[in-house]
Amino acid sequence: MSTRLITDDLWPSLTRGIRSCKRPCQVAVAYLGQGAAQMLPLPKGSRLVVDASDRTVKQGLTCPAELLKLHKKGVEIFSVMNLHAKVYVAGKGAFIGSANVSKNSAGTLIETLLHTTESQAVKDARQFVADLCLESLGPERLKELGKIYRPPHIPGGKRGKRTTSAKSVKPELAELRLAQLKPRKKLTKDQEVQLKVGKAEAQRVRQHRSRTHELDDFTWAGRCSFGQGQQVIQVLKESDEDTWVYPPGYVLHVRKDPLESISYVYVEYPDRRRKSLKLLAKKLGRGALTKLRRNGKVTDRAFAQSLLKAWQAAADAGK
């Protein structure tokens, strides 16, 4: 085990470390600028967390085109607003320091990285990145962000000031909603037509490849509170004994039936196994069963994060 401070040839050292790694890497870095895909040649299966919020992209601090290049190479992309960490885990080593992935970092700024192979530190760094992998970005979303991207006026710079409290800043979570569902009744011919039309639109705006994500839909009677871009978890009661909780997904499209008071909601979610309501509630702890049976927005932030992590843990285990 060793730990050393890198001050000279920082980016060549980091790029070599990433390129030589045969296993997926885990990276959380605030900003990723033009040329980043070459500076950070992550292997297939790696996870990359950046701040790809609209504000950051408009300022030119994160470049969606570079994220798209990495995504095409099999890298999973995640976004966390207000991220400022720079953590790079490659194999049995971790690089932690000040460097964003940018030409400004490589050619202008004075940067440092601490490289360590101390097993507990590397494990903690890997877990830190995993805990941030909550909001994934697919190719369509990255293309949308590309439309609002503007190169920075001052390389690596930021306009204005942002005040924060002295308390630790937690990752922003997209709004999460629960949808309590029962098996769909047989549709009329007119309803089937409406469902099919809506599905075509949902297919058009899909964010992820079909081999990694499922496209699903459900019917909602009465006033529909679901909207495009919202994060939703379906809770399907198949019988008195069997209730299933589906992986968290995003609403792609909502089509209101022109003749009836129902809406068709189309959701895209990762291709992972659904979970038994009772088993999931037991894993999440006291009070979880009651919370999982509610409709609408999940207002308990800690519970929402635990719920999202339940499926991330399944992905880590290869399930």
Torsion angles phi and psi, residue 33, rounded to 5: -100, -170
Residue type, 60: G
For the entire predicted model, the pTM comes to 0.66
Taken as a whole, the chain contains a residue count of 319
Picking from 136, 39, 48, 33, the residue whose alpha carbon sits closest to that of residue 89 is 48
Q: What is the pLDDT of residues 274-288, one digit of tens each?
A: 999 999 999 999 999
Torsion angles phi and psi, residue 272, rounded to 5: -130, 160
Tokens (6 digits) for 202:
């949902």
- Greatest distance between any 2 Cα atoms in the chain: 70
Q: What is the pLDDT of residues 136-152, one digit of tens each?
A: 898 888 999 999 999 87
Tokens (6 digits) for 156:
């690596």
Measure the CA dihedral 214/219/223/225, to 10°.
-10
Q: How confident is the model at residue 309 (pLDDT cuts 50, 70, 90)?
A: confident
Higher pLDDT among residues 171 and 59, named by residue: 59
Q: What is the pLDDT of residues 235-244, one digit of tens each?
A: 999 998 999 9
What would the mean pLDDT of 187-215 be, rounded to a whole number?
90
Query: Kindly report the CA angle at 218 between 214 and 221, in degrees rounded to 5?
Result: 165
Q: Tell whether the model's pLDDT for residue 154 goes beyond 70.
A: no
Edge-to-edge strands of the sheet including 86-90?
Answer: 3-6, 113-116, 93-97, 86-90, 26-29, 47-50, 76-79
> What's the pLDDT score for residue 156?
43
Instruction: Give the start-end residues of each E strand in 167-210.
Output: 176-181
Q: How confident is the model at residue 189 (pLDDT cuts 50, 70, 90)?
A: very high
Return d(Cα 297, Cα 301) in angstroms, integer: 10
Tokens (6 digits) for 54:
């609209």
Return d(Cα 307, Cα 20) in angstroms, integer: 35
Show the DSSP H helices in the chain as ranges: 10-19, 36-39, 54-58, 64-72, 103-107, 119-132, 139-148, 189-204, 277-284, 288-292, 301-316
Identify the CATH homologous superfamily for domain 3-148: Endonuclease Chain A (3.30.870.10)
Domain boundaries, the chain: 3-148, 176-316
Q: Residue 177 in contact with residue 267, Cβ under 8 Å?
A: no
Which H, E and C letters describe 30-70, residue by residue?
CCECCCHHHHCCCCCCCEEEECCCHHHHHCCCCCHHHHHHH
Q: Residue 40 in contact with residue 140, Cβ under 8 Å?
A: no
Return d(Cα 312, Cα 310) in angstroms, integer: 6
* 110-145 per-residue burial string, b: 16 or more CB within 10 A, e: under 16: ebebebbeeeebbeebbebbbebbbbbbbbebbeeb
